[in-house]
């Protein structure tokens, strides 16, 4: 299975306004990733809401094509 890191990045950047995304393959297996997402769209949102925005941007692929994704979110001001 697995999913390409560039597709994960593209989906998040397309789904969240002005998102800057860094993807790290944690195990080198194309199945376990970490994503650091920075966006002004996160301003005023709780951490849970920010993560929900990332999951929504992945369009249902989390748990299917994408097995594990550790998410870190921040606003440009926090970064």
Question: What pLDDT digit, counting tens, does each position of 2-51 carry?
Answer: 789 999 999 999 999 999 999 999 988 778 899 999 999 999 999 999 99
pLDDT of residue 3: 85
Number of alpha helices (DSSP H) and beta strands (DSSP E) in the chain: 2, 3
The domain spans of the chain are: 5-74
**Contacts of residue 34, Cβ cutoff 8 Å, sequence gap at least 6:** 23, 24, 26, 69, 70, 71, 72
Residue 76 pLDDT > 80: yes
CATH code of domain 5-74: 3.30.300.90
Does residue 52 register a pLDDT over 60? yes
pLDDT at position 63 is 79
Q: Is the pLDDT of residue 1 over 70?
A: no
């Amino acid at each position: 299975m697995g999913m390409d890191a560039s597709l994960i990045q593209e989906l998040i950047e397309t789904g969240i306004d002005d998102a800057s995304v860094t993807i790290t393959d944690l195990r080198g297996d194309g199945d376990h990733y970490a994503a650091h997402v920075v966006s002004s769209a996160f301003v005023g949102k709780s951490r849970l809401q920010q993560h929900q925005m990332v999951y929504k941007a992945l369009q249902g692929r989390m748990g299917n094509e994408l097995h594990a994704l550790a998410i870190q979110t921040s606003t440009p001001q926090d970064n």
